[in-house]
Structure 1
Amino acid sequence: MARHASLPSSAQRTLPRKQGLASFAPSGTTSAVRSALMTGLMLGAVGVTTPLAYAQSAAPAASAARSYNIQAGPLDRVLNSFAAIAGVEFSSDASLLQGRSSRGLSGIFTVEQGFAELLRGQGLNASRQGNGSYILVKPAEQGSRPSGEVTLAAVKVTGTTVSPTDLPASYAGGQVARGAKLGVLGNVDVMDAPFNVTAYTAQAIADQQAATVGEVLRNDPSVRFTTSDGHNAENITIRGFEINSSELAFNGMYGMLPGAHVPTEFVERVEVFKGPAAMLSGIAPSGAVGGVVNLVTKRATEQDLTRLTTSYASNSHLTQAADIGRRFGAEKRLGVRFNGSLGYGETTLEDQKKRDNFSSLGLDYRGERWKMELDAYSAHQNQSDGSPLMVGFSTLGRVIDAPDTSKNALRGTYAHQRTDGAMLRGEVELTRGLSAYAALGTANYNYDGFINGTRVVLTNANGNATGQTYNQAGYTRSSSGETGLRSSFSTGSIAHQMVASFAQQHTTTGLATVNTSASYVTNIYDPKTNPTIAGAHGAVARSADNIYSSLALADTLSLFEDSTLLTLGARSQSVKQKMATPTAYEESAITPMLGLVVKPWGPEVSLYANYIEGLSPGVVVSSVYANEGETLAPYKTRQKEVGVKWEHGSFINTFSLFSILKPSTISVATSASRPTLALDGEQKNQGFEWTIAGQLSRQVRMLGGAAYTVGEQVRAATAANDGKKAPGVPAWTANLGSEWDLPWISGLTLNGRVTYTSAQYLDAANKLELPSWTRWDAGANYALSAFSKPVVLRFAVENLTDEHYWSGRFGEGFATLGAPRTYKLSATVDF
């Protein structure tokens, strides 16, 4: 990650980074995949352990242009972020930068143009040295230096400080960020975080043409999907545990995002926290414990922005998008950022059409010692004449080959979804080292049509299947609030970062009586017969009314000159379900957390460990069981994790070993006529992860990693399944993406990604096994200037080989399908 450097004579220096790459070649892969992944592993070993001569001496061509998106902030931080992304060595005297701020940088620039734009009006220049590095000078000094050479003293690299409330800078290469939000702890530098966390940037989103948050998550080796590509929802697993699309966080709060696909137009960061996080973020609405995905929204930069993008995706889906940002006032305190898009056309599923409308407005005001932020959006998604399938194998008893996923077996189905949301957040500095914050948000999600139940069950190996359609409707109304205090102080030689927070979420849901069609017969390989379409659904009535309240307290202690960071915290969480059956439910639980980071060899290596818990709502036992009416408390998922983060040059490796134990309710036989419902079930997922990000050289960037996970049913609902593998948890997963700036064609970047998932079981009995699969993606981006306007052209082919494959598990015995070959093309122009 990008670092400041401490030099004698108050100098600062940003160093070009040497890189490494790591990947696993899972057993059972094809020889081509094994060769590719092992080649990546060997390149990484060379990059990590051997200095690259050209990385130290060669400088990127001054005429090479690329796209930048650097947020406003202190001038020293912005300049160092720019230098790190550009891959150049940059030195400065701290006294020249003290008290200066920058508007940031957005657009397409060469290195020389970027420095010139950042230093405009500052009375400073970036002088290029003979070795390709740059030094900050005053104009009078520049001419006085013979040949412009500067001799710098030895450099000691030290870590940067990430403010708990300011957006962390981008890391080298621009694909990920220097830090991420860790719930109530605020923004934390990744090398200071006792967890495995990755924050994908707006630049990565744009360069990958990721239209939804789900598409961004395809970069992460620990994330896999439990819905078919193109489905109405994008549900995922992290470390083998499920997370619904409704459980993503919005600027740190649950329940505030669109209920369907979450568009990326208004997203600045997609932050992925791996593992349970009850103490940090509170209980998720449905009790998910695999991790947290948090979205950070865009803000107006110091530079005016008017960006228009036209996108095409096969078969004929077009999207027009606008991104407009302005700041107003003599000191530009008021910022306005508007994002809007309209998409329409046919998807890769034959005859299926989608129309998407999205608009958002982000306002912010920066006072002397306070700031306010307001986000509001409206998202509409309409899908007609088809839906991707999920296919069941329980009746057939074995898994057969996947069909061509462009075939449409659900013609005539449709779905309408709309979400409107808004959030207000404020912060004020009360005294030096003490600040208060508060946030309030609301979201209203409505849907109707054939949202779920888009599945069939196979009856023979020829692909014949039966199914039903389900016409349904409903709503979710959510309101969330949070308030807290942050304090920074010292007790002797120990520095403290303390936070206290109170949060509450109130959610009501409504469901209509579902209208189910008569059974129909189809064939997944040749779906000539249209399904039977269910009639109108019933009236919508309220079905749940839940309140989640919590109080959290945490303290991060910094010891031994910041070489040791100890974080202690706990959250008291209450769950109130007013409409639970047979009676209302109200219980509470306390979830502790301990995190430790030790840097024994300097800031480039962090050893970390954590213990943290997740929380899922309990239940009131129904009349089916002998303990009818008993209230089961919220149950805790427990994680233990240790790891190493190694930052070598402009490249970071994260190695993690984790063990997660999740309880569940099971039916226990008794001597009475009815069984007892008990919280005695357990699933244990444990394994290791290796993730990478950064620049392998000045022209090559890498992103991805590999994970090995063993999921075990420690105590299953059926005793015969005890000790068997947990369904839906592949042992090996790997994602490896790369970008290469062609040195002989300025502005042209080639990119690619390979994704591998090993075999996995669909059922608890381990009788239905999906085969492994590999997907290849490739593309190119070209940044140029047309009519004096910055333009970026992007082209990509996903699933390059048009592989037909079962991508994952959806419920007991059901499999999901990956998308067919998909072409994407876009043009972005800044005015």
Structure 2
Amino acid sequence: AGTGLEVRKQEDGSYVLHYADTTGRTSADVTLPLMTVSTASLKQGTAEEGYRVSNVSGVGLWDERSLRDTPYSMSVVPSDLIENINAQNMEQIFKMNPLTQGEDINRHNGVPFVTIRGFQSNNPIYDGIPMADANGSAVSMVEIDRVEILSGTSGFLYGGGRVGGAVNYVTKSPTDVPLRRLTFGNYGGTQFYGHADIGGKFDDQGRFGYRANLLYQGGDTAIGEPVNQKVANIVLDGHLTDALYADVKYTYNDYRKEAPQPFFNSTGERTAIDTSKRYSPKWASNDIESHKAYTSLRWDPSKYFTLRSAFFYQNTRAKTNLVTLNQQVDRTFIPRISSGNPSQKYENYGGYIYLDTRFSTFAVDHKLTVGYSSTVIDQVAIDGSYWSGTNLSLSEIKNIPKPAWGEPSNVLSTYLGRYNNILIGDDITFNKQWSAMVGFNYATTMSRSTGFYGNGSKYEKSALTPTVSLLYKPIEEVTTYVSYMEALERGTVVGNTYTNYGQVFPPLVSKQYEVGAKYDINSNLLLSTALFRIEKANQFSNLATPLPTYIQDGLQVHNGVELVLTGKITDNLTIMGGGTLMDLSVEKANDPALEGKKPTNAASRMGKIYAEYALPWITGLSLTGGIYYTGERYADAANTDKIPNYTLYDIGARYTTRVLDKALTVRLNVINLTGKNYWQNAGYLGVPRTVAFSASMMF
């Protein structure tokens, strides 16, 4: 406006400027040079984009790459979705995700337990750095930018363990534009909280940035469990030169939960226990204090070389008073309670260094990566005492008086576990349609333990675990792949809660075969599916009382298919849904009674869908909800204790508007709408009906 110029669209799609008024001027048209517009710098995974993420931050030694061109089954949960469902912890995320079987979060001091493809995967990964053990991990939701869930064996990528899958917590980074956001809300019951998220750049050139997340939470859960949590997350980063980037991150987490629900070590039958009631005494508790520090560096001296490295350290102290119940024939329970006097100390540390080189052999392009990674857990505990009660009804458990524990023994139990990995991988591009990813990991696992961790046991084993993937793109929007991967897992050192305390099992080498396809239906909608087969040694507890025996016998074979659809169906409808179907069995067992049985705690069927609908006639208002089905499982190897299937329903709403010229978002979520009584796994009750809400304002 006001320039005297007009724009005309030409037949070939280009645009031409000319003078609207040619009086006294030339009539020559002016053609502007070609301009390319890219969305690469825009934030992925927003609610407006249907929570669709195009790239993953990296998978093992492979660097950041397209999600569609990654030959593994993956699902990404962005921060917008985490905030919009008022997720207090990963339990809500795992419940919603089609690839994961959600379980209890409170066990072992906040460890995010999850089952993927029928195998438990507990050891978290922070910014691509795997932890050697789950104990002391203390995942905090306010530090997470997004969660990348890999479904399937990840031994080559992250070293030992994680046979069924891996969960990578990508933490928050400084923002390119100033961020000032305050959130006040309630996680259910009287659990009110306040959260501040502040980020931006220090300088006008945008070379140095910062991010701070602060959380305070206090009150009772929906069933009267007092909770108190304080979290501080600080991030600094900088482009030290045009080719050199570095960051430093720190997180402090102080968490306490009183009267957490008991653990059911054995149940005579799976009766419908009312999950809306609390069954533990008020003096039972779960305390954890954690310090985490990260640092990473990336150097790109030329277009042919990239050096990537990162280091992680976490120091955690934990104290627990947890109630374990053994059900009797008359449906009474014998409680067993561990002393909370001794504290446990966990140190998790690890890191990696990778060198990427790019070159071509004739018409074939290569991105060759070599590197080393290591991760260690060092934990120390003071031996405590246990108290066992008499037969009580379930309602009487919460009235147990606090036992007189006396002084701790001052006898130390120690455990040291380590995974070392020497890796080489080649990302090969033959042409626009064909590519391959080939790699080898010389993995070493080692453990050393004393006291109730393993009675002086030592262990070390190495193995070469390969992977190979072949990708084919019949059209630009579709990627198909076949892959093979192996994983080394250290032999279990049986702890003192079993009759065969101190026994060391032989190492495990698991194998996975997978065929998959990913289809970009449009820029905001991705459909992916995979067929897989996993073979792993079978390990289980026989659930005997008063102490069970831990057993390794036979081979777990999991055959299955997965399907996931994420993104916008229409401009107003967003979904994240899919399902998993598996055929599970135990084969080659020495005990004939185990042959053909189902592995424990693995649901063979899951179907889940979460949806949001933006009402077209009320700007800013979206209705949300989900339906989540988990099939039946078995709690024991003999398949006599069946955990019933269940279906959970969530509903909610979100409204976005402007108040005093500031963006305001109000969210409401009702979890387990029907108040369904269910078992999350063999030992833990489900989550009762919970109402959560929040309000976020930019300032």
Partner residue, 2:221: 347
TM-fit CA distance, 1:585: 2.2
Looking at structure 2, the residues matched to 137 and 493 of structure 1 have their Cα atoms a distance apart, in angstroms, of: 37
Task: Tell me: CA distance 1:510–1:528, structure 2 relative to 1, closer, same or farther (3 Å).
Answer: closer
SS in 1 for 2:388: coil
Partner residue, 1:456: 325
Partner residue, 1:759: 632
Alignment of 1:42-81 (within 5 A): none
Looking at structure 1, the residues matched to 80 and 590 of structure 2 have their Cα atoms a distance apart, in angstroms, of: 46
- The match for 2:68 among 161, 172, 191 is 191
Task: Tell me: CA distance 1:799–1:169, structure 2 relative to 1, closer, same or farther (3 Å).
Answer: closer
Alignment of 1:14-163 (within 5 A): none
Per-residue CA deviations over 1:111-144 (Å, capped at 9, x if unaligned) read xxxxxxxxxxxx9xxx9x9xxxxx9989x78999
Task: Tell me: CA distance 1:774–1:578, structure 2 relative to 1, closer, same or farther (3 Å).
Answer: closer
Per-residue CA deviations over 1:617-653 (Å, capped at 9, x if unaligned) read 136899xxxxx99997632111101112122123221
Partner residue, 1:282: 159
Looking at structure 2, the residues matched to 306 and 235 of structure 1 have their Cα atoms a distance apart, in angstroms, of: 33
SS in 1 for 2:680: strand
Looking at structure 1, the residues matched to 575 and 423 of structure 2 have their Cα atoms a distance apart, in angstroms, of: 37
Alignment of 1:289-438 (within 5 A): 289-350=163-224, 352-366=225-239, 367-384=241-258, 386-394=259-267, 396=268, 398-438=269-309
SS in 1 for 2:142: coil
Partner residue, 2:547: none
Aligned residue identity for 1:826: S
Partner residue, 1:248: 124
SS in 2 for 1:183: coil
Looking at structure 1, the residues matched to 358 and 62 of structure 2 have their Cα atoms a distance apart, in angstroms, of: 12
Q: Would the aligned equivalents of 1:369 and 1:428 in 2 still touch at CA under 8 Å?
A: yes
Looking at structure 2, the residues matched to 454 and 611 of structure 1 have their Cα atoms a distance apart, in angstroms, of: 43
Higher helix share: 1
SS in 2 for 1:508: strand
Task: Tell me: CA distance 1:381–1:718, structure 2 relative to 1, closer, same or farther (3 Å).
Answer: farther
Looking at structure 1, the residues matched to 43 and 404 of structure 2 have their Cα atoms a distance apart, in angstroms, of: 48
Partner residue, 1:75: none
Looking at structure 2, the residues matched to 632 and 231 of structure 1 have their Cα atoms a distance apart, in angstroms, of: 23
Q: Would the aligned equivalents of 1:409 and 1:527 in 2 still touch at CA under 8 Å?
A: yes
Alignment of 1:299-698 (within 5 A): 299-350=173-224, 352-366=225-239, 367-384=241-258, 386-394=259-267, 396=268, 398-450=269-321, 453-460=322-329, 463-472=331-340, 473-524=343-394, 529-530=399-400, 533=403, 535=405, 537-539=408-410, 541-561=412-432, 563-579=433-449, 584-600=458-474, 602-618=475-491, 634-649=507-522, 650-664=524-538, 681-698=554-571
TM-fit CA distance, 1:335: 0.6
Q: Would the aligned equivalents of 1:705 and 1:735 in 2 still touch at CA under 8 Å?
A: yes
Looking at structure 2, the residues matched to 214 and 567 of structure 1 have their Cα atoms a distance apart, in angstroms, of: 33
Looking at structure 2, the residues matched to 645 and 261 of structure 1 have their Cα atoms a distance apart, in angstroms, of: 33
Q: Would the aligned equivalents of 2:50 and 2:568 in 1 still touch at CA under 8 Å?
A: no
Task: Tell me: CA distance 1:521–1:349, structure 2 relative to 1, closer, same or farther (3 Å).
Answer: farther
Per-residue CA deviations over 1:728-774 (Å, capped at 9, x if unaligned) read 11221111000000001110011001111111111111111122111
Q: What is the aligned-residue RMSD (CA, Å)?
A: 3.2
Q: Would the aligned equivalents of 2:135 and 2:346 in 1 still touch at CA under 8 Å?
A: no
Partner residue, 1:86: none
Q: Would the aligned equivalents of 2:247 and 2:296 in 1 still touch at CA under 8 Å?
A: yes
Looking at structure 2, the residues matched to 749 and 143 of structure 1 have their Cα atoms a distance apart, in angstroms, of: 45
Task: Tell me: CA distance 1:773–1:526, structure 2 relative to 1, closer, same or farther (3 Å).
Answer: farther
Q: Would the aligned equivalents of 1:269 and 1:296 in 2 still touch at CA under 8 Å?
A: yes
Partner residue, 1:214: 91
Looking at structure 2, the residues matched to 663 and 576 of structure 1 have their Cα atoms a distance apart, in angstroms, of: 19
- The match for 1:236 among 97, 114, 120 is 114
Looking at structure 2, the residues matched to 424 and 788 of structure 1 have their Cα atoms a distance apart, in angstroms, of: 38
TM-fit CA distance, 1:783: 0.4
Task: Tell me: CA distance 1:187–1:167, structure 2 relative to 1, closer, same or farther (3 Å).
Answer: farther
Per-residue CA deviations over 1:545-567 (Å, capped at 9, x if unaligned) read 23322110001111122x11200
SS in 2 for 1:638: strand
Partner residue, 1:178: 54
Looking at structure 2, the residues matched to 684 and 551 of structure 1 have their Cα atoms a distance apart, in angstroms, of: 28
Partner residue, 1:268: 145
Q: Would the aligned equivalents of 2:86 and 2:187 in 1 still touch at CA under 8 Å?
A: no
TM-fit CA distance, 1:499: 0.9
- Report the TM-score when normalising by structure 2: 0.86
SS in 2 for 1:705: strand
Task: Tell me: CA distance 1:746–1:508, structure 2 relative to 1, closer, same or farther (3 Å).
Answer: same
Q: Would the aligned equivalents of 2:54 and 2:66 in 1 still touch at CA under 8 Å?
A: yes
2:592 is the alignment partner of 1:741: no
Q: Would the aligned equivalents of 1:235 and 1:242 in 2 still touch at CA under 8 Å?
A: yes
TM-fit CA distance, 1:267: 1.1
Partner residue, 2:687: 819
Aligned residue identity for 1:490: S
Which runs of 5 or more residues in structure 2 are unaligned?
22-37, 496-500, 542-549
Aligned residue identity for 1:241: F
Aligned residue identity for 1:821: R
SS in 1 for 2:593: helix
Alignment of 1:783-822 (within 5 A): 783-809=656-682, 815-822=683-690
Task: Tell me: CA distance 1:444–1:786, structure 2 relative to 1, closer, same or farther (3 Å).
Answer: same
SS in 2 for 1:185: coil
Q: Would the aligned equivalents of 2:138 and 2:290 in 1 still touch at CA under 8 Å?
A: no
Task: Tell me: CA distance 1:807–1:583, structure 2 relative to 1, closer, same or farther (3 Å).
Answer: closer
Aligned residue identity for 1:577: S
Aligned residue identity for 2:131: G
How many residue pairs get matched? 650
- Report the TM-score when normalising by structure 1: 0.73
Q: Would the aligned equivalents of 1:805 and 1:818 in 2 still touch at CA under 8 Å?
A: yes
Per-residue CA deviations over 1:15-47 (Å, capped at 9, x if unaligned) read xxxxxxxxxxxxxxxxxxxxxxxxxxxxxxxxx
Looking at structure 2, the residues matched to 494 and 142 of structure 1 have their Cα atoms a distance apart, in angstroms, of: 51
Partner residue, 1:3: none
Aligned residue identity for 1:417: I
Looking at structure 2, the residues matched to 170 and 804 of structure 1 have their Cα atoms a distance apart, in angstroms, of: 34
Looking at structure 1, the residues matched to 415 and 20 of structure 2 have their Cα atoms a distance apart, in angstroms, of: 73
TM-fit CA distance, 1:533: 3.7
Task: Tell me: CA distance 1:782–1:763, structure 2 relative to 1, closer, same or farther (3 Å).
Answer: same
Task: Tell me: CA distance 1:448–1:392, structure 2 relative to 1, closer, same or farther (3 Å).
Answer: closer
TM-fit CA distance, 1:415: 1.9
Which runs of 5 or more residues in structure 1 are unaligned?
1-122, 130-134, 145-159, 623-627, 668-676, 810-814
Task: Tell me: CA distance 1:665–1:761, structure 2 relative to 1, closer, same or farther (3 Å).
Answer: closer
Per-residue CA deviations over 1:316-335 (Å, capped at 9, x if unaligned) read 01111110002022311001
Task: Tell me: CA distance 1:534–1:795, structure 2 relative to 1, closer, same or farther (3 Å).
Answer: farther
Q: Would the aligned equivalents of 1:339 and 1:359 in 2 still touch at CA under 8 Å?
A: yes
Per-residue CA deviations over 1:684-739 (Å, capped at 9, x if unaligned) read 11111111101110000000211112221113463311111112112211110000
